[in-house]
Structure formats: structure tokens, C-alpha cells
Amino acid sequence: MEELAEKRIGKKGVILKDFLERRDANLIVKETIKEAPIKKYKKKKKKEIKQSETSEKQEVNLFKFIDASRIVEKDKLLSFIKWFGIPKEVKTLKTQSEFATAFGLSIDTLTNWKKLTGFYNEVEIYHLNEMKRFMSDIGMAIVKSAKKGNPRSAELFLKYYMNWNEKIRVEDETPERIITNEEKAKIDHALKNIGLATIIKNNR
């Protein structure tokens, strides 16, 4: 009888142990299922925060001199700075009033923007870039004027395109330095090559 009782208890013990192991296994699976979406959400949240920080950093980098951290419409401020640096003759929107209307801004907002520290430094950047597109036209105008015999235009041409130095010209004009016929011939040849032969005639 005692042996039979021990066998029954032993059998129940095995069943109980098996039950407990299965229960624990099910609990682990359930916990894993519960935690998975949370981890995914946390990962997504971190990614969104990182993207937001990157976006804010890019907005700050729109300006080199202005602290735009408190400016809400940074893109419109940048457009105003670019517009401000364009000559009036080539502007589509001629006045600040027209600009304000086109961009849904008030004149007071534009006035406040102009008072920002570094505003005109920002304008200068875009103004210089805007002026560079006229360089080829100005250069050609100087060449045309120099070819007609204008000494000032010729001087500008030589300084800008040929790295000519004013000090060298003064030294050459001193009585102590006499230009030989061979050097004169080389200078005449160089002027003819760049289309400034008219200057040779005017100086003879």
C-alpha cells in the first residue's frame, strides 16, 4: 500500500512539474509578445526625434550670421534676404509691400527682420552672388572700350585679366629704366594678340 501511494504521489509530482514548466513557458511567450510592440514603438520614436533634430539643424544652417532659433518662418526670411540683395531693376516684386503681400507677411514683420543682427551680412552674401552673373558682360564692355583706345579701360583689363601691377608701370616710367626696342616690340606684339592694337597707334 505504501509503495502504491508513493507511486501515485510521484506520478502527480511529475504531472505537476510538467504543468508548471508549460505554464512558465506560456508566460514567457506572452511577455515576449507584449514587449515586442513597445520596443518597436520606442525605436520608431527615437528615429522621429533624430529626424526632427536633423531638420532643426538644417534650418539653423540656412543662415551664417543670423540667430534664427526664434524665427518661425525661416524659409520666408531667407527669401526676403535673397530678394533684398537683388537690384531693383531686375526684381519681379519691386517694393517691400509687394513682397509682403506675395508671401503673406506684414510690413512690420519685414521691418523687424531687417533689425536682426547679421541681416545685412546675409544680404551681402546673396548680393555678391547676384552681381557675379554680370561679370562676363562687364568684362566684355571693358574689352570693347579698351579696343577703341580708352586707356582707363585698358588699365582695368590689364589689372584684372593680366595681373598687371601699378608699381611695375611706375618703375617703367622712371628715367633710370629705359625700354629697349626689343622690349617695345614684345609689348606691341602682346597688345596685338589681345586685340588692343589701337592703343599702340594712339601712343605713337
Could you list the pLDDT tens digit for every one of the 204 residues in the chain?
Answer: 444 444 454 555 555 556 556 666 565 545 554 555 555 555 555 555 555 555 555 555 789 999 999 999 999 999 999 999 998 888 999 999 999 999 999 999 999 999 999 999 999 999 998 888 888 888 899 888 888 888 888 888 888 888 877 665 545 555 555 767 787 777 776 766 666 655 555 555
Between the alpha carbon of residue 184 and those of residues 110, 143, 158, 193, the distances in Å are 60, 22, 17, 14
Please give the pLDDT value at position 53. 53
Read out DSSP for 87-152? -GGG-SS-SHHHHHHHHT--HHHHHHHHTSTTHHHHHHHHHHHHHHTTHHHHHHHHHHHHHTT-HH
Question: What does the domain layout of the chain look like in residue ranges?
Answer: 1-61, 74-132, 135-202
Give the per-residue pLDDT at 31.
55
